[in-house]
Chain A
């Protein structure tokens, strides 16, 4: 045992050095300043005031299907035209959940990111993205008005990004196995389901909102008004529902291609998915269909944002302008299966009824989708008498649910 005291002493010294060496991050969640309506004060950053020369390079962090460059399917490519037009060579990195997008942004190296509502504000709060000067994005003028100045893409009147489009998390199912076709989310929550062991769910704590949405309609006495504003009792009910669902799940998915394969193989026959997953699996010959259930659905409204530390801001702004230009926006919206942000894109979709199917111009319908939003302790449904569960607790509960 004589050898150890020295080793331990050295180790202790190392620990102390390391402790002093690490920078301390300032507490972001509304530290000492008065928090804004969204519960935090954004760091003081300025938007770009004019464009320079394109830098020749651009690193895009995007949801799969948003920045297709032909590597998935040679016929699906709207990145190459952009590269030819601006000279900005694009490298795309995709992610599966909003949380992943946050940690990737923290790691750095990306110039633009397509952030959903549950990531956008967190990116703003941590200073990873800066305000966007919408004057430098000519196509912004044609974006549907009901997507501008929303609580997830602007703070205190300052715009932080360009709306991309929005969509819902649909219920996908194998048309040849699941009969009759499901019409309600109870297909995935019903403990007596005959498809037990072949159901899938989204692998992110944000999925708790889907359970809460289900309870909104099926257990109204819980009084849930907003699936992202859950107090103790409501939260427990949602978590319990998901715990009961867990044994029925074959796999949780965060990689849409893994889900697509599972649907094609028949290892999964039912569960939440993105429209692009359904489209892709169908195009590979599998009889997969989707439905927007009667209870409604959670969804996302995505915003393209510019990284604060980006070295390629001109290319970044050019991308922002390009991706919401009518042609590109139409291409993405059709490929992914969502509503485009640009009004003029509706005329350019190959399926002329695309915008109608996805209710692109219907502001009222759009307001009924429960877009992904980061839950915070300050209840976002307006209640002040109770404290709601914040995202940290959602994340802890998610580990418990998966067991």
Chain B
């Protein structure tokens, strides 16, 4: 027997060893390296930085967390960020669903392929360029102004509205695709049966389609939520003077040289996402990613 065969025979008898070997590299990478890095970051949240030199002083203190909780501005920013994330998610879900439904159920297979490409390609256009494109569109003398002026309206300019619009735009494909996949898996016969039993389209949608595709919608929402929660670039481009959680973390890392406080603020989106993930696990969304 060659070495290969004897090794293979040996491994065949030892499923746990096989498992261990398979898991070793990914676990080392993700478990040790990645989780370790997160843990190290979490640890620095309990230290503080000297405001003059920027050096991290390793005296254990919960002062950072105290500041985070007592200063009202951080609560405001957190609520604002979560509200924006929720808004973006809802807007995207509302826009994505009809589009995905048409693509999955009504379009012919050939059209379907073209449509999927049409929806996917913009994803690979640079995120920055898309955000910047919105900046020029929202400008005082940009396209939106030109379009809305005859109607007596005006561009919302830079600010929270612009941020919500731009973020909704950027993450829309991430919502369309899971819903599309989920709708594809939905058997047509169920929808037909519902119609046969006398339900009008709205009722069918509410009682049959929506509950069955809910996990897919939630899967899409994981991305829109998480991407919005940590984003700081779009706000800087179209957000005017608004701040989101990502900005506070970024400013503390870069401008304020205050890694401990940045880590403290960073725990907020992490905790929110972990809670969100835990909540959606039940809905089975994680299999729909």
Question: Which of A82-90, A249-257, A277-285, A317-325 lies at the interface?
Answer: A249-257
* A234-263 Cβ-contact flags toward B at 8 Å (1 or 0): 000000000000100111100000000000
In the complex, chain B residues whose CB is within 8 Å of the CB of A15: 39, 42-43
Q: List 30 A-B contacts (CB under 8 A).
A: A14-B32, A14-B36, A15-B39, A19-B43, A22-B44, A22-B56, A24-B56, A24-B57, A25-B55, A27-B55, A27-B57, A28-B55, A29-B50, A102-B54, A103-B255, A103-B257, A125-B52, A126-B53, A197-B157, A250-B158, A265-B140, A265-B141, A374-B52, A376-B52, A391-B52, A399-B251, A400-B71, A400-B73, A403-B73, A403-B77
Closest Cβ of chain A to B80, distance in Å, is 9
Q: A250 and B240: CB pair below 8 A?
A: yes
* B144-164 Cβ-contact flags toward A at 8 Å (1 or 0): 000000000000011000000
* A392-403 Cβ-contact flags toward B at 8 Å (1 or 0): 110110011011
* B34-45 Cβ-contact flags toward A at 8 Å (1 or 0): 011001101110
Query: A250 with B36: in contact, given A103-B253, A103-B254, A395-B51 (CB under 8 Å)?
Result: no
Inter-chain CA distance A197–B156, complex, in Å, is: 12
Q: A390 and B51: CB pair below 8 A?
A: yes
Q: B36 and A18: CB pair below 8 A?
A: yes
In the complex, chain A residues whose CB is within 8 Å of the CB of B283: none
Query: A396 with B53: in contact, given A18-B39, A21-B40 (CB under 8 Å)?
Result: no
In the complex, chain A residues whose CB is within 8 Å of the CB of B71: 396, 400
Interface residue ranges of A351-403 to B (CB < 8 Å)? 374, 376, 390-393, 395-396, 399-400, 402-403
Q: A251 and B158: CB pair below 8 A?
A: yes
Q: A97 and B255: CB pair below 8 A?
A: yes
Chain B contact-residue range equals: 35 or more
Q: Does B167 contact A (CB under 8 A)?
A: no
Q: B67 and A251: CB pair below 8 A?
A: no
Closest Cβ of chain A to B90, distance in Å, is 24
Interface residue ranges of A70-118 to B (CB < 8 Å)? 97, 99-100, 102-103, 106
Q: Does B139 contact A (CB under 8 A)?
A: yes
Closest Cβ of chain B to A163, distance in Å, is 22
Q: Does B256 contact A (CB under 8 A)?
A: yes
Q: Does A313 contact B (CB under 8 A)?
A: no
Query: A22 with B58: in contact, given A103-B254, A403-B76 (CB under 8 Å)?
Result: yes
Q: Does B288 contact A (CB under 8 A)?
A: no
Inter-chain CA distance A100–B32, complex, in Å, is: 31
Partner pick for A252 among B32, B54, B55, B241, CB 8 A cutoff: B241
Inter-chain CA distance A29–B53, complex, in Å, is: 7
Inter-chain CA distance A122–B256, complex, in Å, is: 12
Q: B241 and A250: CB pair below 8 A?
A: yes
In the complex, chain B residues whose CB is within 8 Å of the CB of A121: 52
In the complex, chain A residues whose CB is within 8 Å of the CB of B158: 250-251, 267
Q: Does B204 contact A (CB under 8 A)?
A: no
Q: A402 and B255: CB pair below 8 A?
A: no
Q: Does A191 contact B (CB under 8 A)?
A: no
Q: Does B248 contact A (CB under 8 A)?
A: yes
Q: B43 and A99: CB pair below 8 A?
A: no
What is the chain B residue whose CB lies nearest that of A262? B139
In the complex, chain A residues whose CB is within 8 Å of the CB of B53: 25, 28-29, 40, 122, 125-126
Q: Does A226 contact B (CB under 8 A)?
A: no
Q: B241 and A246: CB pair below 8 A?
A: yes
B: residues with CB less than 8 A from A are: 31-32, 35-36, 39-40, 42-44, 50-58, 67, 71, 73-74, 76-77, 139-141, 157-158, 240-241, 243, 248, 251, 253-258
Inter-chain CA distance A270–B13, complex, in Å, is: 77
Interface centre among B39, B51, B52, B158 (most CB of A within 10 A): B52
In the complex, chain B residues whose CB is within 8 Å of the CB of A103: 54, 253-255, 257
Q: A27 and B50: CB pair below 8 A?
A: yes
Partner pick for A99 among B32, B56, B248, B255, CB 8 A cutoff: B255
Closest Cβ of chain B to A52, distance in Å, is 30
Inter-chain CA distance A390–B158, complex, in Å, is: 33
Q: B241 and A26: CB pair below 8 A?
A: no
Q: A25 and B254: CB pair below 8 A?
A: no
Q: A11 and B35: CB pair below 8 A?
A: yes
In the complex, chain B residues whose CB is within 8 Å of the CB of A29: 50-53
Inter-chain CA distance A265–B140, complex, in Å, is: 7
What is the chain A residue whose CB lies nearest that of B256? A395
What is the chain A residue whose CB lies nearest that of B139? A265
Q: A102 and B257: CB pair below 8 A?
A: yes
Q: Does A350 contact B (CB under 8 A)?
A: no
Q: What are the 3 tightest A-B residue pairs by CB atom distance, in nearest-first order? A: A392-B51, A28-B53, A25-B55
What is the chain B residue whose CB lies nearest that of A392? B51
Inter-chain CA distance A194–B35, complex, in Å, is: 53
Closest Cβ of chain B to A174, distance in Å, is 12
Q: Does A223 contact B (CB under 8 A)?
A: no
Inter-chain CA distance A252–B139, complex, in Å, is: 16
